[in-house]
Structure 1
Amino acid sequence: MTITKGNQPSEESAAPDTGGASADAAGPRPAATHDPKISATMLSGLIALVLGVTASILPVPYVIESPGPTYNTLGTDRGKPVISVTGRDTYPAKGNLNLTTVYVDGGPNSTVSVFEAFSAWLDGSKAVYPQELIFPEGVTREQSQQESAVAMTTSQENAMASALKELDIPFGQKLEVADLSDGSASEGKLRPGDVFTSINGKPITTLAVVQKELAAGNGKAVTVVVDRAGKPVTETVTPKRSETGRFILGVLLKYRFTFPFDVTISLEKVGGPSAGMMFALGIIDTVTPGDLTGGKHIAGTGTITPDGAVGPIGGVAVKMHGARSDGATMFLAPADNCPQVAGNVPEGLQVVKVENLKEARRAVEMAASGADTSGLPSCAND
């Protein structure tokens, strides 16, 4: 019962029930006595309790990753198809090709207490990391969200390109200068917006062409032709050696694609690049007859390049738990994530390591056919 101000109990109603006789009927009550040692002990305990509670809610510089929802790239989200295609025939698909997500607490997005960090550390489905391993120092919440959104858009474009390449469907692809790095070898020569045409007379279709020519030159100057606002511009650039020992032009590049049909991916409140591989598989299944999965429940994660290379991501151990909880029986994991996969595979989940989209597609097709998939590459083989 809640007692509000102005409705205080009387002394009578507050007195203990003694079976009809007041306590005073037996005579005057003895005066209360206090042991100073007991009082000091109680005070110390109270102070310790307050300090302990305060310490448990203080923020600490850690990040907690926990399983987020999974999304079927062949299904819908908020009533809309996750993958919509216009300008080409599509085919309904059964089964699941689920991308996986993680909830991230801490960093610029929120705070994590000592108690929360310790509880997550004891939970096998969660992961705890020092904040600096996940977020660069000084990054704001807005910057983090913007970077995540840009990465998501890039992953969708790369997924489309890799899917079309896997299906041998022609499309246009060019490299554009997005920015120059500090101390760039191309400073004063190349500009953001320049579109690469050729290097040393060789047509540039992919980043690999540029990298191969720079490696072959071993630091010698190269002749680069770019399209600048519709006009060809020729520049000679002497590459610099990077910290990893490679020769680089010092430019940040992005792909500019021209696709033969449109693909729209509708997925709210999900960012980052790690859904690339699953988007590519979903696109392949959507634009080809039949069911790629054969009705099976398959999940996975991994970045994707336009050439179909699958790259490592963060939170793979947490994502495997999320996938298994949602019913997945096979999980496609980037080969470079095997150190994080080992020892963290939930019971009932087969993890297949993949290095590229072709291997991922083959694993899904094998599962769909009912073939024995035990021989597929796994992190246990490393």
Structure 2
Amino acid sequence: MLTSSSPEGSVDPRQMLDADPSSASTEPSGGNRYMLMVVSGLLALGLGGAAVALPVPYVVESAGPTFNTLGQDGDKPVISITGRESFPAKGNLDLTTVVMTGGPKTPATIVDVFRAWLDSSKAIYPEEMIYPKGTTAEQTVQQGEIAMETSQENAVAAALRELDIPFEQRLTVAGLSDPSPSAGKIQEGDLLVSINGKPVTSMGVIQAELAAGAGAPAVVVVDRDGTAVTETVTPTKNPAGRYVLGVLLASDFTFPFEVKISLENVGGPSAGMMFALGILDNLSPGDLTGGKHVAGTGTITADGAVGGIGGIAQKMIGARQHGATMFLAPAANCADVVGHVPEGLQVVKVETLADAAAAVERLGSGQSTEGLPTCTNN
């Protein structure tokens, strides 16, 4: 028999190999049981920690920071205007954000989802509802940056249009829907010149002409590589009930002066309306807000139409937490607004930049804001 130099209470594996099986005990000693318990516990903790750290296919939305479009982002003004007289404004026109935990950029864990489940101020969604399958972190960042850049250009156009300041807008065909009534007639890269004899100076011209025709064929003239091409297209109705040509359009603007928007680490299109309000206020004498604290959200088109966004419940919470007393919400988001308005926050329903400006001006001038449109009235 081999001898052991192991500490008392432990068993040398060589003794177990050389021992007489008939005399060996199958019960571990007290010290051995303790060691087994410690090792098992550590192993369980390790496995549990690993499981908690594993990503899960959910996205958590929570209230993010707000940014005053009339103020500074670090040492730079959020909005600066060069080449035209401007009027630095007081008060707050806050754009609101949400923090997204989950998806390809910042995967969510079980702990993130469990904490959100216990917190009524947060929302949980299946990942595929927010990010299409296969979306990479790089694509997410790129898409957010493109959407932000487009919203800023549209915001400048909408503000200038509201102030009757002329600018040039060229609409180029970026693609066709599938199916499209323009297939075989209008091509990607075509520049829209006129519709039914009216110059195409904005998206609104096209929409108005198609609506007036109520489905009648429209005569469309495009510039194709320097050659005028005339086609007759019979529009179809989209799911929203509007007559469309079935073309995807990209805008190219030429503005009479420079408007620069400086805001880091924020992406997406939902700040468009608040950018437009900030630009409008900076180009107008006096203070639109009257020094009051207003926040809001919504996409914007070059024609000043306000569109719906995501995460509005969390954005209202963030707005109130940062001191806003009035919140401008897209009419398209009313179903998500009702039942989620924080105490002390008046939510005004808006469909256009003009609606938003009128509501802020009414608050800023000291008039009663009762009777402004909400998501529970007209």
Q: Do both proteins adopt the same fold according to a TM-score greater than 0.5, normalized to the shorter chain?
A: yes
Query: Residue 198 in 1 paired to residue 198 in 2?
Result: no
- In structure 2, the partner of 1:148 is 144
Mapped partners of 1:212, 1:335: distance in 2: 21
Query: Residue 63 in 1 paired to residue 55 in 2?
Result: no
Mapped partners of 1:218, 1:288: distance in 2: 38
Mapped partners of 2:168, 2:102: distance in 1: 41
- In structure 2, the partner of 1:264 is 260
- In structure 2, the partner of 1:101 is 97
Task: Provide the aligned C-alpha RMSD in A.
Answer: 2.9
Report which stretch shifted further, 178-187 or 255-264. Answer: 178-187
Unmatched tracts of structure 2, length 5 or more: 1-6, 8-27
- In structure 2, the partner of 1:356 is 352
Aligned AA (1:350): Q
Contact kept in structure 1, 2:89 and 2:281, CA below 8 Å: yes
Query: Residue 132 in 1 paired to residue 128 in 2?
Result: yes
Q: TM-score, normalization: structure 2? A: 0.83
Structure 1 residues 100 and 187: alpha-carbon distance in aligned structure 2, compared to 1, 3 A threshold: same
For the residue of structure 2 that corresponds to 1:101, the secondary structure is strand
Query: Matched residue pairs, number?
Result: 352
Query: Residue 252 in 1 paired to residue 244 in 2?
Result: no
For the residue of structure 2 that corresponds to 1:128, the secondary structure is strand
Query: Residue 316 in 1 paired to residue 312 in 2?
Result: yes
Q: Deviations over 1:326-364 (max 9, x none)?
A: 221211111221221222222222222211111211111
For the residue of structure 1 that corresponds to 2:111, the secondary structure is helix
Within 5 Å, which residues of 2 pair with 1:220-259?
Answer: 221-239=217-235, 248-259=244-255
- In structure 1, the partner of 2:11 is none
- In structure 1, the partner of 2:118 is 122
Within 5 Å, which residues of 2 pair with 1:49-60?
Answer: 52-60=48-56
Unmatched tracts of structure 1, length 5 or more: 1-10, 12-30
Contact kept in structure 1, 2:167 and 2:253, CA below 8 Å: yes
Aligned counterpart in structure 2 of residue 337 of structure 1, from 315, 333, 336: 333
Structure 1 residues 102 and 48: alpha-carbon distance in aligned structure 2, compared to 1, 3 A threshold: same
Structure 1 residues 353 and 248: alpha-carbon distance in aligned structure 2, compared to 1, 3 A threshold: closer
Displacement of 1:41: 9.6
Aligned counterpart in structure 2 of residue 294 of structure 1, from 290, 293, 304: 290
Mapped partners of 2:158, 2:74: distance in 1: 27
Structure 1 residues 247 and 74: alpha-carbon distance in aligned structure 2, compared to 1, 3 A threshold: closer
Mapped partners of 2:176, 2:113: distance in 1: 39
Aligned AA (1:308): G
Contact kept in structure 1, 2:204 and 2:303, CA below 8 Å: no
Contact kept in structure 1, 2:274 and 2:297, CA below 8 Å: yes
Aligned AA (1:149): E
- In structure 2, the partner of 1:186 is 182
Mapped partners of 2:238, 2:85: distance in 1: 46
Q: Deviations over 1:93-131 (max 9, x none)?
A: 111111111111111212111221120122232221111
Displacement of 1:187: 3.9
Displacement of 1:89: 0.3
For the residue of structure 1 that corresponds to 2:206, the secondary structure is helix
Report which stretch shifted further, 359-368 or 39-48. Answer: 39-48
Aligned AA (2:131): F
Report which stretch shifted further, 174-183 or 328-337. Answer: 174-183
Q: TM-score, normalization: structure 1? A: 0.82
Aligned counterpart in structure 1 of residue 299 of structure 2, from 295, 303, 309: 303
